[in-house]
Amino acid sequence: MSDNWIVLIPQDPQYLPTPEQQESASRRLREILSEADEIEVSVSPTVQYFDCGGNFESVACPHCGTHLDDGWWPETMSDDYDDGFKLAQYELPCCARQVGLQDLVYEKPQGFGKFGLSAMNPGFADLNEQQLKELEEILGTKLQKIYQHI
Ligand SMILES: [Zn+2]
């Protein structure tokens, strides 16, 4: 058995919507993805990693495109983690620029945040642009969409 999740996280990893916003966004997502097995809200006082599971293909430098999967990325992930991600700035091994883990180019997309709103097994349903915008208005933030396959 495998599960597919659509996960929505704020573009700003530090952003935390109010409980009222969370509640109302969760209710709206339940209406939009009515086929989903479950709608889940996750809230953490520290920044967490929202991965894309089996959809992971690569992680690359946003400046020069070099793949960083081997060595640098896993090491930096563990250096950055201390009861939550600090999202500090690090010098890239490829082109020596400074980035945070949230600035890297992930295929498929994944990200970091204190808040996530997820739908489990939505079937063939997906959020269109307008529905995403509606949830962004409810939550007061731009959102990033992650497709997680477990
Ligand atoms: Zn680079």
Strand partners, 99: 90
pLDDT at 3 (0 to 100): 94
Nearest CA among 53, 21, 50, 23 for reference residue 39: 23
CA 134 to centroid of ligand 1, rounded, Å: 35
For residues 25-52, average pLDDT? 97
CA 107 to centroid of ligand 1, rounded, Å: 16
pLDDT at 1 (0 to 100): 74
CA 87 to centroid of ligand 1, rounded, Å: 18
DSSP string, 60-109: E-TTT--B-TTTHHHHHHHHHBSSSB----EE-TTT--EE-GGGSEEES-
CA 49 to centroid of ligand 1, rounded, Å: 22
Query: φ, ψ for residue 36 (rounded to 5)?
Result: -60, 145
Confidence of residue 124 (pLDDT cuts 50, 70, 90): confident
Domain range annotation of the chain: 1-56+108-150, 60-106
Q: Which CATH number fits domain 1-56+108-150: 3.30.70, 3.40.630, 3.40.30, 3.40.50?
A: 3.30.70
- What percentage of the chain carries pLDDT values higher than 70? 100
